[in-house]
Amino acid sequence: MLALQHAALVAIFLIVAVTVARMAGLDAESGRNFLALTMVAGGLGAILQALAWRGMGSGYLVPPTTTTIFLPAAGSALAAGGLPLLFGMMVYSGLVTAVLSRFIHRLRPIFPAEIAGFVVLMVGLSVVVLAMRNFLGVGLPHGDASSSVLIAGFALTCMVALNVWGSAQLRLYSSLLGVGIGCIAALVAGGFGHRELAAVGEAPWIALPRPFTMGLAFDAALLVPFTIAALAIALNALGAITAAQKVEDADWKRPEMGSLGRGIMADGTTNVVAGLLGGFGQASTSGAVGLSEATGANSRVIAFVLGGLLILVAFLPKIGAFLLAMPAPVVGAALTFSGCFLITSAIQMIASRMLDARKTFVLGIAFSLGVAAFVFPEHFEGAPDWLQPWVGSPLSISVATAVLLNLIFRFGVFQRNAITLDSHSIDQRQLAEFIASQGALWGAPQDLVYRTEFMTIEAIDALVDHGLVQDAVKVSRQQPPVSIPGGLIGLSTRFDEFSLQVTITYRGVLLEPSDKRPSSEEVLEEDGQLRLARYMVGRAADRAKAERQGDLCVLTLTLQN
């Protein structure tokens, strides 16, 4: 029963495959077969994701669903070469995702959270544009377009109302129920075509799915959009599997990279299988994680049963025929509903980081070019052939611009990450402002910046209050240097998406952090306050290291992201 509940959630996203079947102009039988093969790929993907065996699968209940991430690239592939090109490029994209799984952790500095959020944002905008074409009945006569808007608006209203005001269980199925209500409204209003309804009646109850046999095609002009799609699949898996880790571990602090890499490998392999069979692409869904958290059932055994159910349903063509008969306004409403979550999720990812002027220009310029490609596509069609892969779609040009500008603006960052303080006049406000500016410069998470402010102020106060900063003064040539209280303190920061590191340099006595908490009696001893300070500094950081470099003391404090 738990697997059936997840199957209902996965079924919602089959609307994406229905959209692709219509874009490809498939007849009823070919469309049913396309959906069946998509479900077979999804069932295998659910099993692979739960395995956690020999480098494959995260080991969590994070089943894949047909994904809107591939929609923009799929439209270009279908227009350029039909299904053979679509499936060939999906195999390519799956292979890229599988390769990314082996070193995704090393790419985090190049694809920080704000860039990952921007990729998801542009995918969401592409989905919403497609959704609005179905929603508004673009290309239909005026009367039919008005009817389309009414049906789509009614279906979307039901989905939103159930999601906002419904009970916890109703919210889980708000999209599925909204689609059902929309289909009933379309049936009453004559929105179902007689040919589509006849196709549902003619579809057999049981049939064996036929793998695609027309061969695979590849086009270098589509490498960029499908590479971006592969990157988005990997980033999506990072989010979904991380959410699953949080659900399973009450003491969760940071992502476990091993299961993340295996999970991305499972998604890549699933898409390779989908392309070879002749189904549509899949991606891990965070919705299943939310369902697991709501029900308290997160055993990966559920995924094995779910995979078997999806493969079983693939042998029941009437279900696929009904999905293909679904009116365009209902499909538009469902895509709009899911697109809203995609866009808001992207905004949250971007807003989780502190953004300085550099990041503002990276995102602003890239977004502007992406919108221009949506509104004025004819201005990009005249670009040279070698440039077409980069400007051929709004997704390609915006993401490529964002990544390029992010790399360019990283130059010079290291020249702005240091400050010199005078121990005689430490201004905590100035120190906090410097750390905040560093957070914006690096694009670090806000909570990490707040922790860094506390850690740095704690360490500087310990050095100054206990007189550990001492300058060396030469009284005469014959006598050795004399130490006097106070001096200059150097402070620098470094952020690499994994951790934020603060390095403090000074002359004087080395402050060695300690992880041993002093007892009440030890605190009252002569050096008790210094022991307590060493413990507080060590406790504030995830890693702390103190060493001498020549005549300098170097204290390195690190917080994990």
Rounded CA gap, 288 and 261, in Å?
A: 19
HSE value, Cβ hemisphere, 13 Å, CA-based, for 418: 10
What does the pLDDT look like over 452-497, one tens digit per residue? 998 898 899 888 888 888 876 555 555 555 566 778 889 988 886 6
Residue 547 three-state SS: strand
Query: E strands along 4-143, which residues?
Result: 64-66
Helical H segments across 140-256, by residue range: 142-165, 168-172, 174-189, 194-202, 223-248
475 burial (CB, 10 Å; 0-12 / 13-18 / 19+) is: exposed
pLDDT of residue 185: 84
User: Whole-angstrom distance between the N-terminal and C-terminal Cα of the chain?
Assistant: 38
Report pLDDT for 500.
Answer: 84
**Quick one: 6 and 152 in the same domain?**
yes
- At 487 the pLDDT is 84
Q: How far apart are CA 179 and CA 331, in angstroms?
A: 8
Measured CA to CA, the distance from residue 140 to residue 128 in angstroms comes to 19
pLDDT of residue 441: 75
Name which of 128, 41, 487, 222 is nearest 49 in CA terms.
Answer: 41
Domain match, 166 and 189 both: yes
Give the domain-ending residue among 362, 381, 411: 411
Same domain, residue pair 129 and 149: yes
167 and 198 in a single domain? The answer is yes
Number of structural domains, the chain?
3
My answer on whether 359 and 473 are in the same domain is no
Are residues 430 and 390 located together in one domain of the fold? no
Residue 280: predicted pLDDT:
92
Contacts of residue 325, defined as CB under 8 A and 6 or more positions apart, other chains included, come to: 192, 193, 196, 197, 199, 200
Kindly state whether residues 210 and 332 are assigned to the same domain: yes
- pLDDT at 140 (0 to 100): 65
The residue from 377, 392, 411 where one domain ends is: 411
Task: State how far the Cα of 329 lies from the Cα of 148, in Å rounded to an integer.
Answer: 5
Q: Are 358 and 338 contained in the same domain?
A: no
- Same-domain pairing of 320 and 379: no
Length in residues, the chain? 561
Count of H helices and E strands in the chain? 23, 9
Q: Is the pTM here over 0.85, yes or no?
A: no
> Measured at the alpha carbon of residue 436, what is the angle toward residues 432 and 439, in degrees to the nearest 5?
140
CATH number reported for the structural domain that contains residue 482 in this entry = 3.30.565.10
Long-range contacts formed by 165-168: CB under 8 A, 24+ apart: 168/294
Q: If we measure between CA atoms, which residue out of 553, 556, 354, 353 comes closest to residue 455?
A: 556
Domain with 406 in it: 354-411
What tokens were used for 203? Answer: 């579809």
Are residues 424 and 385 part of one domain? no
pLDDT along the chain (561 residues), means of 10: 68 78 84 88 92 86 82 85 92 93 74 75 76 77 74 88 81 76 82 69 80 86 85 77 72 69 92 93 74 65 89 82 74 78 76 79 91 84 67 76 84 69 85 85 79 89 87 58 73 79 90 86 82 86 89 89 68
pLDDT, tens digit (0-9, with 9 covering 90-100), for 358-371: 888 989 999 999 88
- Are 375 and 303 members of one domain? no
DSSP 113-164: HHHHHHHHHHHHHHHHHHHHHHHHTTTS-HHHHHHHHHHHHHHHHHHHHHHH
Domain finish residue from 303, 326, 353? 353
Q: What is the pLDDT of residues 370-416, one digit of tens each?
A: 889 888 888 877 777 666 666 767 777 888 888 888 888 877 655 55
3-class DSSP state of 57: coil
Domain co-membership, 478 together with 372: no
